[in-house]
Homo-oligomer: A and B are copies of this chain.
Amino acid sequence: MPKKFERKPKKKLSVDDYTKGILEGNRIILSQAITLIESTKTAHQEIAQQIIEQCLPHTNQSIRIGITGTPGVGKSTFIEALGNYLTDQERKLTVLAIDPSSQVSKGSILGDKTRMTNLSTNKNAFIRPSPAGNSLGGVARKTRETIILCEAAGYDTIIVETVGVGQSEIAVHSMVDFFLLLLLPGAGDELQGIKRGIVEMADLIAVNKADGDRITLAKQAKRSYKNALHLYPIKESKWTPKVLTCSALDNIGIGNIWKTIVEYQTHAKENDFFAYNRKRQAHYWLHESIQAQLKQRFYNDETIKNTLTSIEKSVNDNRISPFKAAQDLINSFLKR
């Protein structure tokens, strides 16, 4: 029964209990608090918000890194290699994920702990799968809130990974300090196939799988990506994006990548972009939260709960337009 001993007794924790546990680095309490963030129940949400509020002063001493790349680029192996490198350096690492495809396929293709077998048993690494949700915005918000709790628990390096090429990167970009794009050697002429917006976000392009027969190809890819980057406008951070090669599988070039991230951090702190960017992100998240909470209050309202089904039926039967029906519902919600 070793499992049983690991768990806390199931007594109800207070907000202070949660915060205390998190600040002490208790992983079980941290996990439970994240579960509250992910819950759709109002009571859970309220506790979660209070915990976040108490944890907030203990954050901001971290580096937050977004990692993206198309499926097959070797993201899990890369994160495992980088993660092991970092924990060897006494850093404490959190790996979170935002998976937009879970909305379509109703199942996360990311976030399975079994992907990172080594890292998931590492005491200094905390891995949490992508939260479920009906919208990318909701999923992203939960991840943003989770970052705060993890930082308060002492994790100084936050990795947020995502797959897919588009909206999810925008969401991740809105919560990280540094954006890393993983590419394959020879997977296309220069940056063809990668959306311009994603390349513009990248602070570092790492050409992975630079091993075996692919070393020459990877070097060529590095050169051509580097040339392509010249065509992009200067970044607001004044940082010149770097291009490096690595092999996560053979553990080559990982230290170099970390060195570049640290260089960026120094650069961005010196010219104040680092702090400016975090403020701007907070602003963005204020407005994201407003929308999320408005929605939650609406759907949890008793009058709305009682009338929604019949109005949905009218809309389905084409007796009223979706837009007009929404207007009527909102009028009744706001009138009281």
Question: Which A residues contact B (CB, under 8 angstroms)?
Answer: 49, 52-53, 56, 60, 70, 72, 100-101, 103-105, 136, 145, 148, 164-168, 170, 192-193, 195-197, 200, 279, 282-283, 285-286, 288-295, 297-298, 311-312, 315-318, 321-327, 329-330, 334
Contacts and interface: CB of A to CB of B under 8 A. Distances in A.
A169 to B, nearest CB: 9
Q: 8 shortest A-B CB distances, which residue pairs?
A: A289-B326, A104-B197, A166-B166, A285-B322, A167-B167, A286-B322, A290-B326, A279-B316
Contact of A290 (B197, B286, B298): B298
B166 A197 contact: no
Contact of A315 (B283, B295, B326): B283
Given A286-B312, A289-B322, A291-B294, 15 more contacts: A49-B327, A104-B170, A104-B200, A105-B196, A105-B197, A148-B321, A164-B165, A165-B165, A193-B193, A282-B318, A283-B316, A285-B322, A286-B322, A290-B295, A292-B326
Contacts of A292: 326
28 contacts: A49-B324, A49-B327, A52-B321, A52-B323, A56-B318, A56-B321, A104-B200, A105-B197, A164-B166, A164-B195, A165-B166, A166-B167, A279-B317, A282-B315, A282-B316, A282-B318, A282-B322, A283-B316, A285-B322, A286-B322, A286-B325, A289-B326, A289-B327, A290-B326, A290-B329, A291-B295, A293-B327, A294-B298
A231 to B, nearest CB: 14
A297 B290 CA distance: 12
A315 B167 CA distance: 25
B330 A297 contact: yes
A321 to B, nearest CB: 5
Contacts of A197: 101, 104-105
A101 B196 contact: yes
A43 to B, nearest CB: 14
A293 B317 CA distance: 22
Contacts of A145: 323
B100 A167 contact: yes
A53 B321 contact: yes
Contacts of A295: 290-291, 294
